[in-house]
Structure 1
Amino acid sequence: MNNLFLTGKINIGKTTVLNSIKEKLNIDHNMIGGFLTKAFLKNGKVKGFYIQPINYPLEKQPEFEKTVIGYTPDGIKWVGVTDTFEGFGVEILNYCLECPFELIIMDELGFFESKSYIFHQKIHEIIESKKKVLGVIKPQPTIFMNSIRNRKDVIIVEITKENRDYISTKLYNKIR
């Protein structure tokens, strides 16, 4: 199985487990592509999230504003930035398809990209490729996330307090 996605509650350790599996796979860092989702703060509070590519040429990376995928204007309601997914997100995914990467990291897929249909298509193209995919997917149901969950070529594993300390070894054996 080439496509493994982790899910679970906020701060349960999904990215930690992902990184542990990645290390166990022992793939040269230069053969890993994809993206990470990172938070940005303002006055000590999470104000939004941006997409950070993995092994993507620095000269092709846009200014910070064009990497923002979601933000909260009022600290309550969250707004997804479809243009970032359809622009920079699709560029990252196309680069992953063009390059000889052995592993594609997608940390993480969620609800911000719900209306980013070209981005959805590219995610599915990568899943259908021969490349290994290791990702994180939010547990909330959306049409897009359910389209990934319902694929027969994808394994979804919930990370919990009870399994997070040992699950990476078990999952490594499924994806290697």
Structure 2
Amino acid sequence: MPTARAVRTACGERAAQEVPVMPLPDARAHRPATALPCVMAITVIAPADLVVAESDGITIQLGGVQLDAQGWDGQAGMRVHLHGLRGPETMRRDEDFHAAREAWCRDFQQHGQDLAVDPPQMPGVAVLDRVQVVVSDDVGTDYRLLAGQVAGDGTDWEASWVHGPFPPAHASRLHLTFTLDGEPTGSDCTVLLD
């Protein structure tokens, strides 16, 4: 497991925040030797509170940028981590979900595979799946979504999206535009690569 490294972030005159960036040891293998390796300091310019969206009453924050992720097909790219802020609303939804899952488990034990009802969906899925990121850079690279993961046991209010390809060596910045239901949220982030 890579060690998280914090980088400074800022927006205008507001105070800087810490955003984890998690490079793996093989990150420099994706860029030519003449390029700066990804393990050097990376600056992320983001809203000072790191909020990128409000989805169904839950505040969604940027959790970090991982520059050496892989999609399901093994293609190199970058991963953007998001998380929903915990509070009374997420706790209420978690309690409702756990009660529904326990009821589903009891029904499944009674009826087995004949049970026609699907298990309940984790509450973070409906909230976080609506928030996406569009990636671009200063050299016009065509980035596409390679993989994603939303919610799960232990990551109930977390999501991550992998976009590829890996940024080319001559790119100096990535631009992340966050969307809610396909519409820009107005919260953008820039990752300085050199």
Q: Please say whether Structure 1 and Structure 2 have the same fold, judged by a TM-score greater than 0.5.
A: no
Higher strand content, 1 or 2: 2
With structure 1 as the length reference, what TM-score do the two structures score? Answer: 0.25
Q: Relative contact order (C-alpha < 8 Å, sep 6+): which is higher?
A: 1
Give the structure with higher Rg (CA).
Answer: 2
With structure 2 as the length reference, what TM-score do the two structures score? Answer: 0.24
